[in-house]
Amino acid sequence: MTQLVYSYNEIMSDQSYAQPHIVMGKRLHGGFDAEGIYLTPRMLKRGKAVAAWAEALNEKGGELIDASQALLKKENFPNHEQQKYLIRNGLGKTLWDSLTITGIIEGKGRVFSAIVGPEFQDFFEEDISELAVGHLNKGLHHAHGQDEGGIEDGEIGAHDEMWFVVRDLLFGAEAYPLVEAPENINRPETGRVFPQIPEVLEEFLLIYMNILMVEIRAEKMFSFCCGLFNDPSMFKDRREEANLASELVERIRQDEAIHVDYLQTVLSEMRTLTFKTVDGGTIKGNELLDPVWDGMVGYHTTTVYDNARKESWEKILRQLSKLPDSERLIQEFEALGNKTGIAV
């Protein structure tokens, strides 16, 4: 019989590691098996659990919402050739800043490891004990937060530290001054969007939707980085380090897959459930969630991309303008892109 109920300790449990995960002298999370294959942390049971919940949803006639790259219509800016052009012209700080900001944002994800959500069962008519929804407070929140930002004051680095190591492998430590990350990557406040349900539940629903879209968009970052780092024409004086940086990004990519899977499953389950409303009535999950999810997808695939492109282009333009023969450099940079290229 398929296991559908898990304890907190099961969700948080690690596989056995034959070797620790150490890069540039830094101890990072996860580890390697006897064959040298990287193992994601807290995945002894977590991956099987999410897969089982998704399968159970399908067997009951439900379906997973689309969480694929098909949602993303616009391309990266700067694109592969443009980023190469910047680095070759001494503007590696553009990539340095991007990697630094990514690491800082990942570190902020640690907050999830401290979150204790409401009693979710109180919000639904159906029993959720055998669903992913019923395990949000039984390890799914905490595992996600520790994947991103590690354990506070812990000695093992998580994704935040891994991105900083990637950056330092490519450029060397302290190659450029550090940059500040944006304060908030969530969708701006627009007032209540789920007035039918308690506000505390609305807050969590919007968090799940927003983070799922951030995780989906991250795949473009992974692909971009690996393509650039593996390009033999780049980082010629640090070729071995660049290859290792690409491997490290692939490990992060592997770790992040479970985040997409469980959030996709949670929101998909909720579409099949019956929400209790604040006025004593009920509303079907798909009727409640679908319009807002569609809006969240639209926000992340248009507004976020367009704003990021504008901000990135302004920074790049300022840097190119300071170089000799700046007009030619700007024209050549633009020629390598396209007018619809949008930032990661």
* In the chain, where the domains are located: 73-335
Buried b (16+ CB within 10 A) or exposed e, 128-162: bebbbbbbbbbbbbbbbbbbbbbeeeeebbbbbbb
Q: Which of 248, 209, 247 is nearest to 103 (CA)?
A: 248
Question: What does DSSP say about strands 274-276 and 38-39: parallel, antiparallel, or unpaired?
Answer: unpaired
Count of residues in the chain: 344
Q: Exposed, middle or buried by CB within 10 Å (0-12, 13-18, 19+), for 84?
A: middle
Look up residue 161 and give its amino acid: E
Contact 138, 7 (CB under 8 A): yes
Q: Tens-of-pLDDT digits for all 344 residues of the chain?
A: 899 999 999 999 999 999 999 999 999 999 999 999 999 999 999 999 999 999 999 999 999 999 999 999 888 899 999 999 999 999 999 999 999 999 999 999 998 888 889 999 999 999 999 999 999 999 999 999 999 999 877 899 999 999 999 999 999 988 888 877 666 555 566 689 999 999 999 999 999 999 999 999 999 999 999 999 999 999 999 999 999 999 999 999 999 999 999 999 999 999 999 999 999 999 999 999 999 999 999 999 999 999 989 999 999 999 999 999 999 999 999 999 864 333 44
Look up residue 156 and give its amino acid: I
- Is the peptide bond prior to 78 cis by the omega test (within 30 degrees of 0)? yes
Separation CA 178–CA 326 (nearest Å): 25
Q: CA geometry: angle at 220 spanning 217 and 226, to 5°? A: 145
pTM for the model stands at: 0.93
